[in-house]
Structure 1
Amino acid sequence: MKKTVSIIGSGFASLAAACYLARDGYEVEIFEKNKTIGGRARQLKKEGFTFDIGPTWYWMPDVFERFFADFGKTPADFYELEKLNPAYKVFFGKEDSITIEDTLEKIYKAFETEEAGSAAKLERFIDEALDNYNIAIKDLVYRPGVSPLELVTPATAKKLGSFFSTISKEVRKEFKNPKLIQILEFPVLFLGAKASNTPAFYSFMNYADFGLGTWHPKGGMYKVIEGMEQLARSLGVKINTSAPAEKIFVKNNTATGILVNGERIKSDYILSGADYHHTETLLPKDNRQYPESYWEKKTFAPSSLLFYVGFDKKLANITHHSLFFDTDFEKHARAIYDEAKWPEDPLFYASFPSVTDASAAPKGKETGIFLIPLAPDVEDSEEIREKYFQKIISRFEEITQQKVIDHILFRESFCVLDFKKEYNSYKGNAYGLANTLFQTAFLRPKLKSRKVHNLFFTGQLTVPGPGVPPSLISGKLVAGLIQNSKK
């Protein structure tokens, strides 16, 4: 008989793991608490507008290609990709912006225009970032974080210094222009920590940004989820929605099943792609690996205040992805990581997928997604959300030189309380556990429970870390551990 695996959650990591396990002969069933699959990568459809609720950036296309190739497929079998040009635009104020285009040569030129001599410096920086990318993404991140020795290779031995320096230090050694510094420090926000706390080795994110470019799946990031669902179902995976896991049954320190909507589901293995902290609360206290004090001491990636806005007209002076860095970058970072409070003058991100993708909005209209990074667990109320929307929309109007407030058809918001309610997210974090030096690889929460046999975890709070590509990799890693556990 086939061994059975019950998977809690249906995000990128869970779907990836389900595909690998089903391919290798397991009977796999997914249980998703929400009405639709995708975890944080769900979609909002309203009045002809389509919004990705969660991830909106498609970076590291090679990781997606590698995932689908493991099943004899390509991304093109499931969705259509377009490389964005420009990749994104960074606004520093009215008539003050830098556009990041779709090739390194164009980006070198943009840097040189801003600061003489910076093109050559950037070229050297990107060469180093590419070297790190080849070590990290093609090798290290596909290791399961079981032992410190996983990080010890001839290649990493040569890079030892970059694990103990920081992105911030390395960038500032070469670049003095504050705008260029902010652009180079921006990608590590995807890792969930300040550049001053992120090891310099993670400059591979700059290669992901500049070297590999920014892409868009036609129809939105949810098309990737739908493609993975199609693949999973073709492999025999069963998927249940509106099916919250309420308890994990343990007998003789071995996971034996889960309780879903009052029904006991027996299983040989339990794999949770849900929030790690929440998953452990489904266990008897003696079977939990990490006490509350463990989670309290961890550095979490930010939460977010998001707005999904339908505009009744096409907007001017916008790109698919835009960053608004017209306020103090460091001050906002301190509010998130050091002070855990609402920023007074937040930086924000805006995405207008309808600039690229006609399917995102009705003809002649615009789909807008606005995001403010926040400290986890800050106070959240409708009044605060309204206050911050007015803050950013007034700045947006001034910087892009247009009136939009009277052209809003509707607006939905999503913040800390929603992350807790929809995803059982610890402190309402949006991106998981930050990749700081002491929260990297084997120092992250384990893929395999050390207290309960046949219980496993996957996703952004475990190995390798936050982000969509790492989640795909996490699914592959945990599937490998489950396969090895029966040998």
Structure 2
Amino acid sequence: MKKKITIIGSGFSSLAAACYLAKSGHEVTVFEKNETIGGRARQLIKDGFTFDIGPTWYWMPDVFERFFADFNKKPSDYYQLDKLNPAYSVYYGKDDFITIEDTLEKICVAFENEEPGSAKILKKFIHKAQDNYNVAIKDLVYNPGVSPFELVTPETIKKVGQFFSTIKKDVRKEFKNPRLAKILEFPVLFLGAKPSDTPSFYSFMNYADFGLGTFHPKKGMYQVVLAMQELAVSLGVNIITNAAISKILVENNQATGVVVNSETHKSDVVLSGADYHHTETLLPAASKQYSERYWSNKTFAPSSLLFYVGFNTKIKNVNHHTLFFDVDFDAHAATIYDKAAWPENPLFYASFPSITDSHAAPEGKEAGIFLIPLAPGLNDTPELRERYFTKIMDRFEELTSQSVRQNVLFKESFCVNDFVQDYNSYKGNAYGMANTLLQTAFLRPKLKSSKVNNLYFTGQLTVPGPGVPPSLISGKLVSELIDKYHTV
């Protein structure tokens, strides 16, 4: 029997789940509180400039291919994908940077130039990372996190020690050059935790980086959202925007629908891709699985202070993706994970999509996105935002040997308060819950409610974790659970 399914939110995980559930024959309606779909992956369009508000890195192309293949489609049916070369560059000081190109062989040359003998070590390290990737991405992460035995396979038994060591230990053991070590520790930041708290097994992110490479969808990451929307609509999904959910209806411990814009919408199944903590506030108190204490004791991925800047000139000495590691990483990380505070000297990341993509800015101009990772829950004021824009612009100009502030046409900012307001994000986190050892797989919040029948969750606070590819996988996993219990 066909089920009527309500999905809260229209981020990657929600759209993925909607596609799978519609394909299975269910009647699916997606409600999005904002004016446009995409969740955190929305766009800012201003004065001829186009910015991705959220994710700007397209990694793990095989996960996207696997998603579209499930519907006999390919990413190229919807958008053009370009492999970036260089993938990114990393600044350590004034005019002092390392460039990461588009193949492992080229990256080995860069490592060897920095530290003789490191290329051989890097090849061995990435080979091990590739083995982990094959185990993790092709098998392990496609489990729903309902049992610890999902982690027990002949392959993972061989790797058990990697769950009790850390990325930082492994990297620093092999690479004595701190500059190279920072590059190898960087990818796990996408998982939301410090390298010193991330299990060694997650080195598969290094293979995603050096082995598979960094891509850019022409016209930006939002093209992936539009592709998923087109696919969903073709499958019969109804998507409604400006539709805020104020309550999840529960009768006899069973979800029966939602209240949206003060109107009742009945359904057989409710699936939330919205913030997990926020979703539980929409339930009666007795129906919540997790207490406030539970959430406050979890390690959350960072929030961010973001600036979207329109420049009236082209920016020099940068690449599409550029990292600024000229300050103490550990000191900045301590302000995120150990004692929440605004960092005195923040690391930051800058993206200039218009270097690659003419759609991002008018001719002769540049679109710049600047990101500072922050602890969630920080006090967020216009004065603090302005102070930190000045901080990073001072350093940016010094490190890249150019003056750009007089070329700023406009800047828009996005920070903790905006993550809360726009996404109901717990403490304004940007990336969800970190993938630490005690927050991996079955130890994460569950896809299926243990208190309310017919209520499910998807997205970065549940299985498998933060990031765009894991969100696609999360949508697939929850749809399979729903199909298991609610077959057509």
Task: Report the TM range for the smaller structure's normalisation.
Answer: over 0.9
1:128 aligns with 2:161: no
Q: In structure 2, what is the equivalent of residue 101 of structure 1?
A: 101
* Distance in 1, Cα, partners of 2:249 & 2:330: 46
- Alignment deviations for residues 24-78 of structure 1 (CA, whole Å, 9 cap, x no partner): 1000000000000000000000000000000000000000000000000000000
1:355 aligns with 2:355: yes
* Distance in 2, Cα, partners of 1:380 & 1:328: 23
- Written as runs of structure 1 = structure 2, the 5 A alignment for 1:318-357 is 318-357=318-357
* Distance in 2, Cα, partners of 1:29 & 1:196: 42
Q: In structure 2, what is the equivalent of residue 50 of structure 1?
A: 50
* Distance in 1, Cα, partners of 2:486 & 2:469: 27
Which amino acid letter does the alignment assign opposite residue 273 of structure 1? Answer: G
* Distance in 2, Cα, partners of 1:282 & 1:460: 19
Q: Is the 8 A contact 2:175 2:181 kept in 1?
A: yes
- Written as runs of structure 1 = structure 2, the 5 A alignment for 1:252-263 is 252-263=252-263
Which amino acid letter does the alignment assign opposite residue 432 of structure 1? Answer: G
Which amino acid letter does the alignment assign opposite residue 306 of structure 2? Answer: L
Q: In structure 2, what is the equivalent of residue 199 of structure 1?
A: 199
* Distance in 2, Cα, partners of 1:310 & 1:96: 26
What SS does the aligned partner of 1:19 have? Answer: helix
RMSD: 0.5
* Distance in 1, Cα, partners of 2:316 & 2:350: 13
Q: In structure 2, what is the equivalent of residue 296 of structure 1?
A: 296
- Alignment deviations for residues 339-397 of structure 1 (CA, whole Å, 9 cap, x no partner): 11010000000000000000100000000000000000011000000000000011101
* Distance in 2, Cα, partners of 1:95 & 1:234: 50
Compute the displacement of 1:137 (Å): 0.2
What SS does the aligned partner of 2:379 have? Answer: coil
Q: In structure 2, what is the equivalent of residue 11 of structure 1?
A: 11
* Distance in 2, Cα, partners of 1:207 & 1:339: 31
Q: In structure 1, what is the equivalent of residue 313 of structure 2?
A: 313
Q: TM-score, with normalisation over the residues of structure 2?
A: 0.99
Q: TM-score, with normalisation over the residues of structure 1?
A: 1.00
Deviates more, 1:465-474 or 1:328-337: 328-337
Q: In structure 2, what is the equivalent of residue 423 of structure 1?
A: 423
Q: In structure 1, what is the equivalent of residue 26 of structure 2?
A: 26
Q: In structure 1, what is the equivalent of residue 85 of structure 2?
A: 85
What SS does the aligned partner of 1:204 have? Answer: helix
Q: Tell me, which stretches of 5 or more residues in structure 2 are unaligned?
A: none
Compute the displacement of 1:459 (Å): 0.2
What SS does the aligned partner of 2:371 have? Answer: strand
* Distance in 2, Cα, partners of 1:68 & 1:163: 31
- Alignment deviations for residues 89-141 of structure 1 (CA, whole Å, 9 cap, x no partner): 00001121000000000001111111111101111100100000000000000
Q: In structure 2, what is the equivalent of residue 378 of structure 1?
A: 378
* Distance in 2, Cα, partners of 1:62 & 1:486: 29
Compute the displacement of 1:2 (Å): 2.1
- Written as runs of structure 1 = structure 2, the 5 A alignment for 1:256-275 is 256-275=256-275
What SS does the aligned partner of 1:315 have? Answer: coil
1:366 aligns with 2:366: yes
* Distance in 2, Cα, partners of 1:42 & 1:214: 20
Compute the displacement of 1:18 (Å): 0.1
* Distance in 1, Cα, partners of 2:424 & 2:83: 34
Compute the displacement of 1:247 (Å): 0.2
* Distance in 2, Cα, partners of 1:451 & 1:169: 40
Which amino acid letter does the alignment assign opposite residue 59 of structure 1? Answer: W
Which amino acid letter does the alignment assign opposite residue 83 of structure 2? Answer: K
Which amino acid letter does the alignment assign opposite residue 114 of structure 2? Answer: E
Q: In structure 1, what is the equivalent of residue 2 of structure 2?
A: 2
Q: In structure 1, what is the equivalent of residue 176 of structure 2?
A: 176
- Alignment deviations for residues 262-289 of structure 1 (CA, whole Å, 9 cap, x no partner): 1100000000000000000000000000
Compute the displacement of 1:227 (Å): 0.3
What SS does the aligned partner of 1:25 have? Answer: coil
Compute the displacement of 1:318 (Å): 1.2
- Alignment deviations for residues 454-483 of structure 1 (CA, whole Å, 9 cap, x no partner): 000000000000000000000000000000
- Alignment deviations for residues 295-332 of structure 1 (CA, whole Å, 9 cap, x no partner): 00000000000000000011111110000001111111
* Distance in 2, Cα, partners of 1:422 & 1:315: 31
Q: Is the 8 A contact 2:95 2:401 kept in 1?
A: no
1:72 aligns with 2:72: yes
Which amino acid letter does the alignment assign opposite residue 279 of structure 2? Answer: T
Compute the displacement of 1:486 (Å): 2.3
* Distance in 2, Cα, partners of 1:202 & 1:373: 20
Which amino acid letter does the alignment assign opposite residue 224 of structure 1? Answer: V
* Distance in 1, Cα, partners of 2:387 & 2:139: 45
Compute the displacement of 1:178 (Å): 0.6
What SS does the aligned partner of 1:350 have? Answer: strand
* Distance in 1, Cα, partners of 2:4 & 2:140: 29
Q: In structure 1, what is the equivalent of residue 460 of structure 2?
A: 460
- Written as runs of structure 1 = structure 2, the 5 A alignment for 1:159-174 is 159-174=159-174
* Distance in 2, Cα, partners of 1:197 & 1:395: 29
* Distance in 1, Cα, partners of 2:171 & 2:364: 42
Q: In structure 1, what is the equivalent of residue 449 of structure 2?
A: 449
* Distance in 2, Cα, partners of 1:130 & 1:327: 30
Compute the displacement of 1:246 (Å): 0.6
* Distance in 2, Cα, partners of 1:247 & 1:197: 37
Q: In structure 2, what is the equivalent of residue 230 of structure 1?
A: 230
* Distance in 1, Cα, partners of 2:80 & 2:357: 11
- Alignment deviations for residues 219-242 of structure 1 (CA, whole Å, 9 cap, x no partner): 000000000000000000000000
* Distance in 1, Cα, partners of 2:379 & 2:406: 28
Compute the displacement of 1:3 (Å): 0.7
* Distance in 1, Cα, partners of 2:328 & 2:408: 28
1:150 aligns with 2:178: no
Which amino acid letter does the alignment assign opposite residue 201 of structure 2? Answer: F
* Distance in 2, Cα, partners of 1:185 & 1:135: 20
1:477 aligns with 2:451: no
Which amino acid letter does the alignment assign opposite residue 417 of structure 1? Answer: N
Q: In structure 2, what is the equivalent of residue 391 of structure 1?
A: 391
What SS does the aligned partner of 1:264 have? Answer: strand
Compute the displacement of 1:414 (Å): 0.2
* Distance in 2, Cα, partners of 1:412 & 1:65: 33
- Aligned-pair identity (%): 72
* Distance in 2, Cα, partners of 1:384 & 1:277: 27
* Distance in 1, Cα, partners of 2:253 & 2:300: 30
What SS does the aligned partner of 2:122 have? Answer: helix
Query: Could you list the runs of 4 or more consecutive aligned residues of structure 1 that deviate by over 6 angstroms after TM superposition?
Result: none
